[in-house]
């Protein structure tokens, strides 16, 4: 359970995550805001390969989401804004792996 360690205050902003309404505070880091709302899975790397934020500093590229229609945004590098529409990003159907 993600939990705030300081009293929560600030202007509330409204976001959408995969169609679900969630709230955050103005100026929040997007990845943190989603985690605080209980959303741990941000995408899939392939079928049955769920992923979420890992490093929180922009080097692992796990926290990729689609923001306001733009894909491959690193949530941990983004700040929320009111009305932000976020979609989970799932691996393209064409993704296939050759086995050897």
Partner 1 sequence: MTEITKSNFDAIIAGGGLIGLAIGYGLSRRGFSVLLLDAEDTALRAARGNFGLVWVQGKGAYFPPYADWTMRSSELWPKLAGELQENGGPALGLHQEGGLSICLSEAEMQQRYDKLDHLRAHQNGRFKFEMLDRTALKEVMPGIGPKVVGAAYCPHDGHVNPLYLMRALQNGLNRNGGVCLANAAVRSIDKIGNSIRVGTAKGDFECQRIVLAAGLANAELAPMVGLQQSLKPQKGQIIVTEKLDQQMALPSLLLRQTDEGGLMIGDSHEDTGFETSVRPNIVSGIADRALATLPALADVGVVRSWAALRVMSKDGYPIYDQSEAMPGAFAISCHSGVTLSAAHAFDLAGYIAEASLGQELDGFSQRRFNV
Partner 2 sequence: MANQHFQIVIIGAGPAGMAAALTTTKAGLETIVIDDQKDSGGQVYRNLQANQETSPAYLGQSYYDGAKLAQSFADCGAVYRPDCTVWQITDMHEVALVSRGKAELITADYIIIATGAIERPMPVKGWTLPGVMSVGGAQTMLKQAALGADNAVFVGSGPLLYLTAWQYIKAGLAVRAVIDITSAQQWRSAIPFAPLALLQPDMLAMGRKWLGDIRRNTEVINHVSAVEIIGQSQAQAVSCTLSSGDKIDIDSNHIFLHQGVVPNVNLTMATALAHQWDYQAHCWRPVIDVTGKSSDEQIYIAGDGGGIGGAKAAAIAGRLAASAIVARCGMPRFLAQLYYKLRHLHYLSIRPFLDRLYFPPAHFRLAQTDETIICRCEAVSKADVNSALASGASGPNQLKAFCRAGMGRCQGRSCGLIVQEMIASHTGQSMAETGYYRLRPPVKPITLAELASLEGPWPD
Is residue 47 at the binding interface for partner 1, with CB under 8 A as the rule? no
Among 14-22, 45-53, 82-90, the segment contacting partner 2 (CB under 8 A)? 45-53
Are the C-beta atoms of 27 and 80 separated by less than 8 Å? yes
Q: Rule CB under 8 A: choose which of 12, 14, 23, 55 binds partner 2.
A: 55
CB atoms within 10 A of CB 66: 18
Cβ–Cβ < 8 Å for 41, 22: no
Residues at the site binding partner 2, with contacts judged by CB under 8 A: 1-6, 28-29, 32-33, 35-36, 40-42, 45-46, 49-62, 72, 76-77, 79, 97, 99-100
């Amino acid at each position: 359970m993600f939990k705030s360690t300081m009293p929560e205050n600030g202007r509330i902003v409204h976001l959408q995550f995969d169609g679900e309404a969630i709230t955050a505070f103005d100026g929040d880091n997007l990845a943190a805001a989603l985690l605080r709302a209980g959303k741990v899975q941000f995408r899939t790397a392939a079928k049955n390969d769920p992923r979420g934020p890992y490093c929180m500093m922009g080097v692992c590229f796990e926290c990729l989401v689609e923001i306001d229609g733009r894909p491959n945004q690193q949530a941990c590098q983004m700040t929320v804004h009111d009305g932000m529409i976020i979609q989970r990003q799932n691996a393209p159907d064409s993704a296939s792996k050759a086995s050897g």
